[in-house]
């Protein structure tokens, strides 16, 4: 790149440049020439991101030009003046970060562009989420070798699904997969489609987003679309941009989406961005079946690889049939900034090692810290008292379908509304949002139904219904209740303290009973209540439930006794 001129444009000047049609044509040409370019460095991805997040992120465009003003290098960044954060275009929503450069010019361009950045922008570090080629990490180290910067490189395994027609055919021929497809087809019309029409995307996207956010909140304690008000708009703009920036497909059951995929195209490679699937059909593995159909569709489009992206997710490894390496890199503006960041990393690593020595996972550490922060002197006293002497009676109530006509639905009550569940707010030290959502996901995947009422943007009341279960585990007394065939169990009903004494419990129970007895095969509905919960007992007993017997649990100085009334179980158990 001898004689090349490197310039930095930011703010309004950068926006003018990004909107220049001549520059856009040269950008596209350079993208085609650059061997390591991905969809995330193309105009179809970068421009929608700059447009959507322009209020927070100021664009920074570094470019080098050679003879005849030819664009030879391009580095697309963004800067938050308030936090002094420097990121690549796309920030965390770009799977791969890189610059664009003509073959053989990478080191010279990166060295010159990095020097311009340090000269004109106040920042401490620049993070590359993943470099698509590990050799680019060597380029960065060479470019920054003698300027006082610090470069930290971590190489990661990347799972890949190489598209092979025979492998896909064999997967579809497996008895277990054929059975899953056949069971779904019994529920209605099953169809896989690439989504190429904006109207179709708009029709199904919110439902797919709901699946994605709920699962992410339950598993990773984050609901990306709910927490980023611009994320949906950004994806819509990506779709409108076309040109490989959005590769979208969905599986439909009776014309409603049950699974979806959002990716980006880099030539014959499709990168995974979002895999979205319904928790209500978990027994049929809709996510797995969707990826199988996606792979089959990719064959017809001439694609060769589904890039599952790094991250260590077990489900990705189950699909992967090949691996390569990518690099996560942080380039620090100075050695001092690197040392400060290194000290923080060392502290976190030491904390993880200490937790590992006592067999605690990171999630368990977070949970224990949360419980310590939420502990009050009264809760400590209560736990000590419970260990010393506590006794519980769990009363079992039953109602039969002769009462079915007495119950009516209520428009405020929703069934299996994921957005309602996501609006849960912990209000007591014994509650935790993470645990609530994780348990809710597990229950939905096991076939239980959530009945919810949301008021003022909060989950005001909820209750659960399980159908066709041979038994119901009663955690409060650590015993199980055997249920007659076809019966349903109503359990874990709770009202937010701000909405108690408003009749929500009675209203929701009536709605749930109406739904339960709408099934002709339901003979009984069961509900259990702690004996000392007098308000709940009053509601249940005045609604027509009959008391059917009790389970008991007792603890004295650590010795536990469990027993049940004779009509449930005649035996007594004792444990220390």
Q: What CA–CA distance (Å, rounded) separates 60 from 56?
A: 13
Q: Tens of pLDDT along 103-152?
A: 999 999 999 999 999 999 999 999 999 999 999 999 999 999 888 889 99
Would you state the structure tokens that stand for residue 167, as one six-digit string? 């492998």
- Dihedral of alpha carbons 90, 91, 95, 99, sign: positive
Q: What CA–CA distance (Å, rounded) separates 210 from 419?
A: 7
Confidence of residue 426 (pLDDT cuts 50, 70, 90): confident
Q: Which residues contact 559 (CB under 8 A, 6 or more apart)?
A: 574, 575, 576
Give the pLDDT mean for 38-44.
Answer: 97
CATH of region 5-156, choose from 2.60.450, 2.30.42, 1.20.1250, 3.40.630: 3.40.630
Instruction: Give pLDDT, residue 568.
Output: 83
Instruction: Give pLDDT, residue 2.
Output: 55
Rounded to the nearest 5°, which phi and psi values hold at 314?
-60, -40
Give the pLDDT mean for 236-252.
Answer: 94
Q: Kindly tell me the number of DSSP H helices and DSSP E strands found in the chain.
A: 19, 24
Instruction: Give pLDDT, residue 430.
Output: 66
Say whether pLDDT at 85 is over 50.
yes
Q: What CA–CA distance (Å, rounded) separates 120 from 461?
A: 54
Say whether pLDDT at 365 is over 70.
no
Confidence of residue 389 (pLDDT cuts 50, 70, 90): confident
Give the pLDDT mean for 86-111.
Answer: 96
Q: What CA–CA distance (Å, rounded) separates 481 from 16?
A: 70
In the chain, what are the domain boundaries?
5-156, 164-303, 384-575
Give the pLDDT mean for 54-72.
Answer: 94
Instruction: Give pLDDT, residue 353.
Output: 46
Average model confidence (pLDDT) for the chain?
90
Say whether pLDDT at 28 is over 90.
yes
DSSP 503: S
Q: For residue 492, how many other CB atoms are within 10 A of its CB?
A: 17
Q: Which residues contact 9 (CB under 8 A, 6 or more apart)?
A: 17, 59, 60, 61, 63
Yes or no: is domain 384-575 CATH 3.40.630.30? yes
For 145, the 3-state DSSP assignment is coil
* CATH architecture assignment, domain 164-303: 3-Layer(aba) Sandwich (3.40)
Give the pLDDT mean for 446-463.
Answer: 96
Say whether pLDDT at 387 is over 70.
no
Give the pLDDT mean for 465-480.
Answer: 92
Confidence of residue 569 (pLDDT cuts 50, 70, 90): low
Q: Lowest mean pLDDT: which of 145-149, 372-376, 487-491?
A: 372-376
Q: Which residues contact 249 (CB under 8 A, 6 or more apart)?
A: 192, 193, 194, 195, 260, 261, 290, 293, 294, 297
Confidence of residue 342 (pLDDT cuts 50, 70, 90): low
Say whether pLDDT at 383 is over 70.
no
* Residue 471 vs residues 268, 485, 488, 528, 572: alpha-carbon distances, Å: 51, 10, 10, 13, 19
- Decide: 488 and 451 in contact? Cβ < 8 Å: no
Q: Lowest mean pLDDT: which of 80-89, 166-175, 266-275, 562-571?
A: 562-571
Confidence of residue 367 (pLDDT cuts 50, 70, 90): very low
Confidence of residue 370 (pLDDT cuts 50, 70, 90): very low
Instruction: Give pLDDT, residue 3.
Output: 65
**Structure-token match 């311009």, residue found:** 116
5-156 against 384-575: fold identical: yes
Give the pLDDT mean for 187-201.
Answer: 97
Q: What CA–CA distance (Å, rounded) separates 20 from 9?
A: 13
* Residue 421 vs residues 129, 459, 470: alpha-carbon distances, Å: 32, 7, 26
Give the pLDDT mean for 278-289.
Answer: 96
- pTM confidence score: 0.88
Q: Tens of pLDDT along 511-527?
A: 999 999 999 999 999 99
% of the chain beyond a pLDDT of 70: 89
């Amino acid at each position: 790149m001898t004689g090349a001129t490197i310039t930095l444009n930011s703010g309004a000047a950068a926006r003018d440049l990004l909107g220049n049609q001549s520059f856009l044509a040269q950008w596209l040409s350079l993208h085609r020439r650059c061997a390591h370019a991905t969809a995330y460095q193309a105009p179809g991805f970068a421009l929608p991101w700059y447009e959507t997040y322009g209020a927070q992120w100021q664009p920074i465009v570094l470019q080098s030009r050679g003879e005849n003003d030819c664009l030879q290098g391009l580095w697309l960044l963004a800067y938050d003046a308030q936090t002094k954060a420097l990121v690549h275009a796309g920030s965390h929503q770009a799977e791969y970060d890189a610059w664009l450069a003509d073959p053989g010019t990478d080191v010279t361009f990166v060295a010159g562009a990095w020097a311009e950045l340090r000269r004109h922008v106040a920042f401490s570090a620049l993070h590359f989420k993943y470099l698509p080629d590990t050799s680019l990490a060597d380029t960065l180290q060479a470019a920054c070798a003698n300027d006082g910067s610090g470069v930290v490189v971590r190489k990661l395994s990347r799972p890949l699904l190489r598209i092979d027609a025979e492998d896909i055919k064999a997967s579809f021929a497996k008895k277990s997969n054929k059975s899953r497809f056949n069971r779904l087809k019994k529920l209605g019309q099953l169809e896989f489609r690439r989504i190429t029409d904006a109207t179709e995307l708009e029709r199904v996207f919110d439902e797919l987003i709901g699946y994605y956010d709920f699962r992410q909140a339950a598993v990773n304690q984050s609901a990306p679309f709910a927490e980023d008000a611009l994320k949906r708009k950004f994806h819509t703009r990506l779709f409108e941009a076309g040109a490989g920036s959005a590769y979208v497909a969905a599986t439909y059951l009776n014309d409603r989406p049950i699974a979806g995929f959002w990716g980006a195209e880099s030539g014959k490679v499709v990168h995974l961005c979002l895999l979205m699937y319904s928790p209500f059909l978990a027994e049929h593995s809709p996510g797995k079946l969707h990826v199988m159909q996606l792979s089959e569709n990719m064959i017809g489009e001439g694609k060769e690889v589904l890039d599952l992206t790094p991250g260590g997710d077990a489900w990705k490894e189950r699909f992967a049939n090949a691996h390569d390496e990518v690099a996560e890199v942080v380039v620090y503006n100075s050695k001092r900034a690197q040392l400060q960041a290194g000290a923080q990393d060392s502290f976190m690593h030491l904390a993880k090692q200490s937790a590992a020595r006592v067999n605690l996972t990171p999630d368990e550490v977070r949970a224990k810290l949360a419980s310590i922060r939420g502990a009050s002197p009264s809760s400590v006293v209560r736990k000590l008292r419970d260990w010393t002497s506590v006794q519980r009676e769990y009363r079992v109530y039953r109602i039969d379908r002769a009462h079915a006509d007495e119950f009516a639905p209520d428009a405020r009550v929703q069934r299996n509304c994921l957005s309602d569940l996501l609006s849960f707010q912990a209000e007591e030290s014994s509650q935790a949002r993470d645990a609530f959502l994780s348990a809710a996901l597990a229950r939905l995947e096991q076939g239980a139904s959530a009945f919810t009422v949301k008021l003022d943007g909060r989950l005001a009341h909820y209750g659960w219904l399980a159908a066709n279960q041979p038994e119901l585990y009663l955690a409060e007394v650590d015993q199980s209740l055997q249920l007659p065939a076809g019966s349903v169990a109503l359990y874990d009903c709770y009202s937010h303290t701000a909405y108690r004494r408003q009749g929500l419990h009675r209203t929701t129970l009536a709605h749930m009973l109406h739904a339960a007895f709408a099934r002709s095969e339901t003979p009984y509905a069961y509900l259990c209540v702690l004996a000392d919960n007098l308000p709940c007992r009053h509601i249940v007993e005045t609604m027509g439930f009959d008391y059917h017997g009790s389970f008991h649990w007792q603890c004295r100085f650590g010795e536990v006794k469990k027993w049940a009334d004779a009509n449930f179980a005649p035996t007594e158990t004792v444990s220390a």
